[in-house]
Amino acid sequence: MKRTSDTDGSSSTGTPPGDSRIPPARRKHAAFLASLIGALLPLIALAAIVHWRLVPVPQLRTIFRPLYAGLFSLLALWCVVYAAWRGPLRWNLALPLLALTYLGIERFAPPFVHVPLELKTYNALQDPDHRPHRTGRNRGWNSDSLRCQSQPEEFRAEDTNIIFLGDSFTFGMNLDPDQCFPQLVEDQLEARDTKQRVRVANFAWTSSSPLLSWRRLVDIGEKYHPDLVALCVDMTDIRDDIRWKALLEQDGVYGLVAHIPITMRALEFTSPSAYAALLRRLNPEMPIEPFFMSEAPLEETRPFFAEITKNINRIEAWCDDHGAKFVVIVLPRTYQCNEFESPKNWEADRYTTLGPYSLEPFRFFDELQPDVNYPIHSLLETFQTTEVFPTSFEDDPHWNPEGAQVAADAVYDIVVDELSALGLL
């Protein structure tokens, strides 16, 4: 049977030649898609508004923010897939759109889902310095967010001023502000009959390192008019300096985390060995384990000390430029001094207590001393021979109030000797 044609030349059983109109079935799917988007977006917006008004507690807000980000991300992916599968979009166009949608999710979703997904490395990339932001004269913090009793304007050039650099041990993790050893040193110096008023600024904060301490010193150190700068080196600083440098430069794996944090977190979660292998490949200069330096002979680990040595020299150069005496104080960990300390220590599986290489970092600094101009002091013998027990918390390696006092007594002697040599006591 022949098809008949209308007077305008079109087929009675087909659409006009060259007609680009979307077929009815596809128009139906497109309309459904548009209505779905039109319905979901206002509902999500309404939920966000209601939640923001009715749930003012920040902790509860963190539960809802990932839900919103997840809904928007799934909706964006579903729209592209649906449009390609049932709608007017061709698959050769859908694949680039899927890639763009994926990159968009990686770009915009992480700030909302970093808590449930535990995007710790992503968070570190957003603020590698991760300095504390707390102030208040009555809470042990000054206007520069230092754990310090004195405001920066109280550090006069005519006074004797000391800056302590360091990480959580110097900061006084788990201690009240008046229990951390820099504050105890200031208290002991105030009780002494000195020529000038002595003030101490605690520049330390948790997970800092010599690299980050140098950066903070460059930013705000000058207004504290230091006569003495004491860098307190912790065992983890050796690896931390390498890691923070890579984070600041977004080098290797951290460059990938900066652009595709959710994917990298998924790789780390599902296959830690593959993530570690990628880290070794792209960041060969960085050790995987934080306490590597006390688990192998110094001959093997020595190259990894180059970064911390460079940053210590940077701090020394800053001190020379500002007329301050610079000293290094190496702090021991419990596993290097006493096998009975901190019996429930949460990080005990990361190192060997009193192991054959536990003291190799101290050997490195002993060998470094003849080649540098600044004095290097160690508190290892102090904690090996103290009769105070325990000096740390039961489940945490940080010093308890008694341990902080042991450190303060030893550091006080060092400070007195250095200030006396400068004629300031």
For residue range 317-376, list pLDDT tens digits in order: 999 999 999 999 999 999 999 999 999 999 999 999 999 999 999 999 999 999 999 999
User: Is 275 domain-assigned?
Assistant: no
User: Is 402 domain-assigned?
Assistant: yes
| Domain span holding position 179 | 152-240+288-421
- Name the pairing type of β-strands 376-378 and 325-330: parallel
Q: What is the mean pLDDT of the chain?
A: 85
Looking at the fold, whether 36 and 163 belong to one and the same domain comes out as no
H/E stretch holding 162 reads strand 160-165
Tell me the per-residue pLDDT of 278-297, one tens digit each, with 9 for 90 and over: 999 999 999 999 999 999 99
Confidence band of 196 (pLDDT split at 50, 70, 90) = confident
Asked which of 93, 116, 139 is the last residue of a domain, the reply is 116
User: Is 19 domain-assigned?
Assistant: no
Confidence band of 103 (pLDDT split at 50, 70, 90) = confident
Looking at the fold, whether 417 and 294 belong to one and the same domain comes out as yes
Looking at the fold, whether 112 and 157 belong to one and the same domain comes out as no
- Residue matched to tokens 């509860």: 60
User: Is 145 domain-assigned?
Assistant: no
Looking at the fold, whether 326 and 218 belong to one and the same domain comes out as yes
Q: Are 211 and 307 in contact (CB under 8 A)?
A: yes
- DSSP designation for 159: S
Query: How many distinct structural domains can be found in the chain?
Result: 2
Beta bridge partners of 327: 230
* Mean pLDDT for the stretch of residues 381-403: 97
pLDDT of residue 319: 98
pLDDT of residue 146: 96
pLDDT of residue 74: 62
Looking at the fold, whether 46 and 156 belong to one and the same domain comes out as no
> Other CB atoms closer than 10 Å to residue 103's CB: what's the count?
12
User: Is 368 domain-assigned?
Assistant: yes
pLDDT of residue 58: 52
User: Is 132 domain-assigned?
Assistant: no
- DSSP designation for 204: -
* Mean pLDDT for the stretch of residues 143-169: 95
Confidence band of 7 (pLDDT split at 50, 70, 90) = very low
Asked which of 116, 142, 173 is the last residue of a domain, the reply is 116
Task: Name every residue whose Cβ is closer than 8 Å to that of residue 21 and which is 6 or more positions away in sequence.
Answer: 15
Looking at the fold, whether 293 and 396 belong to one and the same domain comes out as yes
Looking at the fold, whether 330 and 219 belong to one and the same domain comes out as yes
User: Is 380 domain-assigned?
Assistant: yes
Looking at the fold, whether 197 and 76 belong to one and the same domain comes out as no
**Is the pLDDT at 71 greater than 70, yes or no?**
no
pLDDT of residue 87: 56
Let me know how many helices (H) and strands (E) the chain has, helices first: 17, 7
Q: Residue 159 maps to which CATH number?
A: 3.40.50.1110
Residue 416 burial by CB count (10 A; 0-12/13-18/19+): exposed, middle or buried? middle
**In whole angstroms, what is the distance from residue 235 CA to residue 361 CA?**
8
Lowest mean pLDDT among 97-106, 213-222, 380-389: 97-106
8-11 long-range contacts, Cβ below 8 Å, gap at least 24?
none
Looking at the fold, whether 224 and 345 belong to one and the same domain comes out as yes
Query: Between 410 and 41, whose confidence is greater?
Result: 410
Asked which of 96, 116, 136 is the last residue of a domain, the reply is 116
**Is the pLDDT at 187 greater than 80, yes or no?**
yes
pLDDT of residue 10: 46
Tell me the per-residue pLDDT of 125-134, one tens digit each, with 9 for 90 and over: 999 999 998 8
* Mean pLDDT for the stretch of residues 52-77: 55
Nearest to 110 by CA among 263, 292, 278: 263
Looking at the fold, whether 108 and 156 belong to one and the same domain comes out as no
Looking at the fold, whether 183 and 295 belong to one and the same domain comes out as yes
Confidence band of 252 (pLDDT split at 50, 70, 90) = very high
Percent of the chain with pLDDT over 70: 76
User: Is 337 domain-assigned?
Assistant: yes
> Other CB atoms closer than 10 Å to residue 2's CB: what's the count?
4
Looking at the fold, whether 79 and 216 belong to one and the same domain comes out as no
Lowest mean pLDDT among 100-109, 274-283, 300-309, 317-326: 100-109
Q: Are 212 and 244 in contact (CB under 8 A)?
A: yes
Q: How far is C-alpha 18 from the chain's CA centre?
A: 61
